[in-house]
Amino acid sequence: MLTAITLTAWGQIATPSTARILVVGDSLSSEYGIARGTGWVNLLKQSLTSAQIDTDILNASISGDTTSGGVTRFKRLLDKHHPSVVIIELGGNDALRGLPLDLTRKNLSTMASQARSSGAQVVIVGMQIPPNYGREYTTGFKDMFETVAKQHDASLVPFLLEGVAADPKYLQADNLHPNELAQPQMMRNVLEVILPLVKR
């Protein structure tokens, strides 16, 4: 299932004070299995608007996407939309497929580097995986996001699902994807990090 949600008329000319935010993610950001308009990206737009922060947000997230998929379309998105802030929420599907950490790290680094070169500020969204993947892989996966963020002077959301991952009431029937109840907390996890960037 592929989904991409545009929250604003991105092609319209923005004022100099408008923060243009590009979200490149997977099912956690594409409103997989939940009603349209209830996902954390849409809630982020609403929260920033309530705070009187003018933003355009393009949600270019695709359910099932990996970091390799993100790399193949990332430069085109930058060239087309010229965002001032880029939120990279990818990597979870790499782990589910057992892909090498070096490959995931390289892809995240490539996207962060391209975004920085375009003049955008970068937010890396961290993920964590269950311990059944093995301690070395689990720890390496968790630490990878911080490593990439530091390498590219990017902001870091330590764990998108902080406050929801361990509670079944926040999960869909597959016990994997967050439901609508989880979205406000996910939004707050990102909002805390992105607010200083869009207020500049």
Q: What is the CATH number of the domain that holds 61?
A: 3.40.50.1110
- Residue 5's nearest CA partner among 17, 23, 20, 19 is 23
Residue 8 pLDDT > 70, yes or no?
no
Give the pLDDT score at 74: 98
29 noted as active-site residue? no
Mean local confidence (pLDDT), 137-152: 97
174 noted as active-site residue? yes
Structure-block tokens of residue 159: 């764990």
Residue 2 pLDDT > 60, yes or no?
no
Confidence at 9, pLDDT banded by 50, 70, 90: very low
- Residue 57's nearest CA partner among 87, 89, 27, 96 is 87
C-beta separation of 64 from 97 below 8 A: no
Give the pLDDT score at 16: 53
Q: How far apart are CA 20 and CA 139, in angstroms?
A: 33
C-beta separation of 150 from 109 below 8 A: no
Tell me if 3 is assigned to some domain. Answer: no
Tell me if 169 is assigned to some domain. Answer: yes
65 noted as active-site residue? no
Tell me if 142 is assigned to some domain. Answer: yes
**Mean pLDDT, the chain, as a whole number?**
92
Counted domains in the chain: 1
Residue numbers of the domain that contains 190? 16-198
Adjacency order of strands within the sheet including 55-59: 5-6, 55-59, 19-25, 85-89, 121-125, 155-157
Tell me if 1 is assigned to some domain. Answer: no
Catalytic pick among 17, 26, 27, 113: 27
Catalytic pick among 82, 152, 155, 177: 177
Residue type, 81: H
Tell me if 144 is assigned to some domain. Answer: yes
Tell which wins on pLDDT, 16 or 147. Answer: 147
Helix (H, G, I), strand (E, B) or coil at 160: coil
Residue 121 pLDDT > 90, yes or no?
yes
Tell me if 122 is assigned to some domain. Answer: yes
Q: Which residue has the tokens 């500049």?
A: 200
Give the pLDDT score at 200: 65
- Residue 184's nearest CA partner among 159, 161, 156 is 161
